[in-house]
A = this chain, B = another copy of it.
Amino acid sequence: MKILQERILKETKIVGEDIIKVDMFLNHQLDVSLLAQMGREFYLTYGSEGITRILTVEASGIALACLTAINFKVPVVYAKKGRVRTQEGNTYSGQIFSYTRNENTYIAVSKDFLLPQDRILIIDDFLASGNAIFGLKDLVDQAGATLVGVGVAVEKGFQGGGQKLKDLGIPVRSLAVIKSLENKRIIFAD
């Protein structure tokens, strides 16, 4: 998606070796009209797949998931991190390793919101090694629901998560694929 690539080139900071910071428009600050355009792209890809729910994980996936769901006219469900007082244990749960926080995070979804007959689209802001997506996939599998596909804004292709998903036969639509960050230069895959 050309407009996204241009924004990444213009506004992204590279932190350390391999963390790209898209705080200006994709997380922390959210350019909702850009996110709405991205949501329409996912609809072009998955709009005829009979999606019944869109699944993401708090917090940075929520905005893009919502602006995608507007097109599909289906609910968003976001996996919660940690345990909160209003949660009752009636959940599917698992763990994901957060690269930015450098720790394992417990995630959970109420069993009310993932049903065996659901056809799920997973949406997230980033796909790197794939930990978050595989954590969400695990919840979908626990529910016996069908994972139709994955949509992410930015894929760091060199970290292998996208390939692992494709190797399992799971469709992945990445709106911008970064092939390399060597010498702090962003090179896209196309």
Contacts and interface: CB of A to CB of B under 8 A. Distances in A.
A59 B110 CA distance: 16
Contact of A29 (B70, B101, B113): B113
Interface secondary structure of A, over-half rule:
mixed
Copies of this protein in the complex: 2
A30 B77 contact: yes
A28 interface: yes
B86 A15 contact: yes
A85 B62 contact: no
Interface string A75-118: 11110111011100000000000001110000001101100000
Given A23-B110, A28-B77, A31-B75, 17 more contacts: A21-B86, A24-B112, A28-B80, A28-B109, A28-B110, A29-B75, A29-B76, A29-B77, A29-B110, A29-B112, A30-B66, A30-B76, A30-B77, A32-B70, A58-B58, A84-B101, A85-B101
